[in-house]
């Protein structure tokens, strides 16, 4: 069971729901006609999640959105539809159960101790497994991460929905199309040596990535394909297979190369030798969707840009919620050293390692396929 990753700027105070177990039991009974025999609170950044095991059988996650995000009903509707679409197309995503009215989400007025507010409620399928953050990141598992991320985006690309326009999310701070917005928050790094690196990355993005965006291939990004949002289980070969993808709250219209950069960045955070991550993830990605030359040229700066987003926006959230320092700084604390290392090694050296390793792994994978056939 994964906790939500802090990848959106915090909602206003008191927006986060705070339901009691008795309120959860009542909602599950009224909306889904299920009797909750087991209710367990799960960690969450700005929503409220519960593991629910009804006496009728089955396992579920009850998700209560914060009151601020609950206003974006069309966005949540598209996210919920996407999860079902992925599941129907062989990608292991959670799906929302229909309630007694046949709807997959419900806007409920609930008093959590600071007056009645409206919260979007969904009952999601429970996916077994452990987060990928808790298992060894072998080259094979990193390859599978890249392959799964690419498959996921190519499936979503085929999806039709009347409200896909809500995924444009102009001004969304976590989109890799909006790296320049970080300049408004750089004061949180005042006096720190890393500030100059972050400024240089943003400048590099503006001069060397932004002008080339017209050559990127468009898609819809999951946007937060991180080590806490991917579940794995042991396979037959002493390794692991991906069994679940969680948290579609950061979905946005973007580009395939953005998803790859995000995946590489978050896998680097969990790896003992971060620099070695890019090759296997890239090889897995290109087994589904080979990059074009412009996308290849921009990958290094996009990975660094995601590190900068995590660092700067994580620090900013900390100024708003200092009591949650440990939780808010999960990635940015580890990311500081990796960002510094990537910057010092430079684009040419990092790309050489990533692309050469990816080519070797691709050749090996092709030989294995030929042997099987």
Q: How confident is the model at residue 5 (pLDDT cuts 50, 70, 90)?
A: very low
Residues 71, 138, single domain; the answer is: no
Hey, is 38 helix, strand or coil?
strand
Residue 214 covered by a domain: yes
**Torsion angles phi and psi, residue 169, rounded to 5:** 45, 55
266: in domain: yes
Listed residue (70, 62, 64) closest to 18, CA to CA = 64
Residues spanned by the domain of 310 = 130-365
Domain boundary among 103, 125, 147: 125
**One domain for residues 103 and 156:** no
pLDDT band at 2 (very low <50, low <70, confident <90, very high): very low
Rounded to the nearest integer, the mean pLDDT of the chain is 91
Identify whether 155 is part of a domain. yes
Residues of the chain by 3-state class (helix, strand, coil), percent to 5: 50, 15, 30
Kindly state whether residues 63 and 211 are assigned to the same domain: no
In a domain, 169, yes or no: yes
pTM over 0.85: yes
Percent share of the chain, pLDDT over 90: 79
Q: Are residues 177 and 40 in the same domain?
A: no
First to last CA, the chain: 38
Q: What is the pLDDT of residues 27-61, one digit of tens each?
A: 999 999 999 999 999 877 788 999 999 999 999 99
Number of folded domains that form the chain: 2
Where does the pLDDT of residue 16 fall: very low under 50, low under 70, confident under 90, or very high at 90 and above?
Answer: confident
In the listed set 61, 95, 125, which residue is the last one of a domain according to the structure?
Answer: 125
Residues 107 and 179 in one domain: no
Considering the domain architecture, whether residues 222 and 166 belong to the same structural domain is answered as: yes
Q: What is the CATH number of the domain that holds 105?
A: 3.30.200.20
Any domain includes 178:
yes
Lowest mean pLDDT among 104-118, 123-137, 250-264, 310-324: 310-324
Based on the fold, state whether residues 186 and 210 are members of the same structural domain.
yes
Q: Which of 125, 158, 178 is the last residue of a domain?
A: 125
Confidence of residue 339 (pLDDT cuts 50, 70, 90): very high
**Catalytic positions:** 224
What is the rounded (10 degree) CA torsion for 262, 266, 272, 277?
-20
Same domain assignment for residues 36 and 89 = yes
Is 108 in the same domain as 148?
A: no
Residue 121 lies inside a defined structural domain of this protein: yes
For 76-95, write each residue's pLDDT tens digit: 999 999 999 999 999 999 99
Q: Are 154 and 123 in contact (CB under 8 A)?
A: no
pLDDT at site 7: 43
The pLDDT score that the predictor gives to residue 11 is: 55
Is pLDDT of 278 > 70?
yes
What's residue 334's pLDDT? 79
Whether residue 81 sits in one domain with residue 39: yes
CATH number at residue 195: 3.90.1200.10
């Amino acid at each position: 069971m994964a906790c939500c990753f802090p990848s959106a700027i915090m909602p206003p105070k008191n927006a986060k729901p705070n339901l009691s177990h008795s309120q959860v039991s009542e909602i599950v009974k009224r909306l889904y006609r299920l009797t909750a025999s087991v209710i367990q609170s799960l960690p969450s950044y700005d929503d409220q999640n519960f593991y629910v095991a009804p006496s009728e059988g089955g396992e579920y996650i009850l998700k209560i959105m914060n009151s601020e995000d609950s206003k974006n009903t069309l966005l949540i509707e598209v996210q919920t539809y996407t999860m079902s679409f992925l599941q129907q197309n062989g990608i292991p995503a959670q799906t929302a159960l229909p309630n007694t009215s046949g709807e997959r989400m419900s806007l409920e007025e609930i008093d959590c101790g600071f007056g009645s507010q409206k919260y979007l409620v969904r009952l999601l399928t429970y996916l077994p497994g452990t987060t990928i953050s808790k298992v060894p990141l072998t080259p094979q598992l990193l390859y599978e991460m890249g392959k799964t991320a690419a498959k996921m985006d190519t499936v979503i690309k085929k999806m039709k929905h009347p409200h896909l326009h809500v995924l444009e999310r102009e001004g969304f701070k976590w989109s890799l199309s909006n790296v320049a917005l970080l300049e408004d928050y750089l004061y949180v790094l005042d006096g720190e040596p890393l500030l100059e690196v972050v400024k240089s990355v943003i400048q590099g993005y503006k001069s060397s990535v932004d002008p080339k965006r017209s050559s990127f291939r468009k898609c819809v990004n999951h946007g937060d394909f991180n080590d806490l949002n991917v579940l794995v289980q042991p396979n037959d070969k002493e390794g692991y297979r991906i069994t679940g993808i969680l948290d579609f709250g950061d979905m946005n219209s973007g580009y395939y190369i953005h998803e790859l950069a995000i995946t590489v960045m978050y896998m680097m955070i969990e790896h003992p030798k971060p620099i070695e991550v890019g090759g296997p993830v890239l090889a897995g990605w290109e087994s589904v969707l080979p990059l074009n030359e412009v996308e290849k040229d921009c990958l290094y700066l996009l990975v660094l840009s995601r590190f900068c987003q995590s660092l700067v926006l994580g620090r900013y959230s900390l100024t708003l919620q200092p009591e949650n320092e440990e939780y808010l700084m999960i990635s940015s604390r580890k990311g500081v050293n990796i960002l510094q290392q990537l910057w010092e090694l430079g684009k040419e050296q990092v790309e050489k390692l990533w692309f050469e390793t990816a080519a070797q792994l691709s050749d090996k994978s092709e030989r294995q396929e030929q042997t099987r056939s």
